[in-house]
Amino acid sequence: MNLTKYPFAIAIISILFLTTGCQTNNVKPVEDVNLISLNYVAADHLIAAAASDLSTSHPILTTSFANIDDLKSSSTFGRITGEQVGSRFSQNGYSVVEMKVRNSVFIKEQSGEFILSRELKTLSTLHDAQAVLVGTYAVGSASVYVTAKLIATKDNIVIASYDYILPMGPDTKALLRK
């Protein structure tokens, strides 16, 4: 086959070859999102969904968000996520009990606070708490999947939940390693 008869085809093939090669070199690194903003949005959704079930006169207990693959472990990511979601509740006028200063919560060093189910009734009575904020996260190859829930302390019923996803940028990766 004489390719000199098809200069247009040669030009198209050359352009496709060159642009395909360039595309593989232009891969942009994943950028972090504003974790505080995402966590505040999650809290705002929980507050809106549970508005008729929550009172500002009774406290809400907060915990670290746990790794879904090992519910007794967390990371800096899980601890800061629980802190920020709880902080947003406080900013909206809810009384939030700081669990890290309590002796009645299972606190594993470098993991965070986890409320054991048998302790929930005792803690809710002790603090007159109406709900507990809990959460989990799952680490994917390029994203972190987060679930936040408000659970009624009187009957362990989920009164509100919110799921969200964030890209695995360099800050997120660092928070997950610790």
Structural domain that includes position 135: 30-177
Greater pLDDT, 115 or 127: 127
Q: Which of 12-26, 72-86, 110-124 has the lowest mean pLDDT?
A: 110-124
Amino acid at 33: V
With respect to residue 97, please indicate whether it lies within any of the assigned structural domains. Answer: yes
With respect to residue 158, please indicate whether it lies within any of the assigned structural domains. Answer: yes
pLDDT of residue 63: 86
User: Residue 112: is its pLDDT beyond 80?
Assistant: no
Answer whether 95's CB lies under 8 Å from 59's CB: yes
CATH value at residue 97: 3.40.50.10610
Round to whole Å and give the CA distance between 176 and 140.
11
With respect to residue 165, please indicate whether it lies within any of the assigned structural domains. Answer: yes
Q: What is the pLDDT of residues 135-146, one digit of tens each?
A: 999 999 999 999
With respect to residue 99, please indicate whether it lies within any of the assigned structural domains. Answer: yes
With respect to residue 5, please indicate whether it lies within any of the assigned structural domains. Answer: no
Question: Total domain count for the chain?
Answer: 1
Residue 29 binned pLDDT confidence (cut-offs 50, 70, 90):
confident
With respect to residue 10, please indicate whether it lies within any of the assigned structural domains. Answer: no
Answer whether 178's CB lies under 8 Å from 76's CB: yes
Residue 178 binned pLDDT confidence (cut-offs 50, 70, 90):
confident
Greater pLDDT, 168 or 15: 168
Answer whether 74's CB lies under 8 Å from 67's CB: yes
With respect to residue 34, please indicate whether it lies within any of the assigned structural domains. Answer: yes
- pTM for the whole structure: 0.74
User: Residue 9: is its pLDDT beyond 70?
Assistant: no
With respect to residue 9, please indicate whether it lies within any of the assigned structural domains. Answer: no
Please give the structure tokens belonging to residue 1: 């086959």
User: Residue 66: is its pLDDT beyond 60?
Assistant: yes
